Structure 1
């Protein structure tokens, strides 16, 4: 019988695995937009280590391997900011993105993100947009960054099941 994927808080010693996964996962985004300077592809290990200590970071673990990750924090307006959701390409379409996102929402709500959640993605990232909409996120803004890229911001209120 195969191993189960566990969703848990990231450990500091997993920073390098998370960074490698992020680099692998964002290759398709870079190709989609013709932009290899996307922040997830240029982030340093030191910067990621700082995020691990400052933000909530969840990982999906298959044994000792990190196969998914997401991070977030509650901003000064009480909104849970969610970013860098990534799942290993071989593990996609198994619900890990949903599990990571819902797990982070629950943790940020416990931290006091009573106002809801916000995240963003590129306008051509149709799989991301489908996932976020399926999970209750709605488009709040589209901002053109360049001729090739518009950033779509999506938000959702805290679900009643988390607010209780």
Structure 2
């Protein structure tokens, strides 16, 4: 590829690129479920800026271009919620989603308060389900959102080593 992809914390200046990438990446999900009104396609720039201020947002860059992103927060009960893991279609199938997933887990777990990681995807999103299972996530719940979409919640426990490293 020539240039290497770097992963770092997102800044407010990345918000517009994240929004455009999110819109591009979720087209295939909307098509898969026949629903173009899903939240990632209707989210506003201001809402993304608020997420940048309130939680952990990482981006992967190829040069100056944001080619992937992920967001996460940690609940008071120690559950790290990971969401909107997106990778530019031309960058998929090269391990970038897995790298970003590991990076956000590490960043969220750095404070030592994380007991579990949790995320969700649609029941027909086989590539997402395969990626999450590969990284140790197991289905723990399902929720029928509509007659076309069931969300699958997957979770895994934080590594005991993460607790020791932060103690």
Aligned residues: 164
Structure 2: runs of 5 or more not aligned:
none
- Contact kept? 2:59, 2:70, Cα under 8 Å: yes
TM superposition score normalised by structure 1:
0.97
Cα RMSD after superposing both structures: 1.1
1:160 Cα shift? 4.0
TM superposition score normalised by structure 2:
0.95
Per-residue Cα deviation, 1:62-103 (whole angstroms, up to 9, x for no partner):
000000000001012111000000000000011110011100
- Contact kept? 2:112, 2:162, Cα under 8 Å: no
1:124 corresponds to which residue?
Answer: 124
1:78 aligns with 2:64: no
- Contact kept? 1:74, 1:111, Cα under 8 Å: no
Structure 1: runs of 5 or more not aligned:
none
2:135 corresponds to which residue?
Answer: 135
SS at match of 1:101: helix
1:104 aligns with 2:91: no
Alpha-carbon distance between aligned partners in 2 of 1:121 and 1:13, rounded to the nearest angstrom: 27
Per-residue Cα deviation, 1:1-58 (whole angstroms, up to 9, x for no partner):
7110001100110100000000000000000000001100000000000100101000
1:147 Cα shift? 1.0
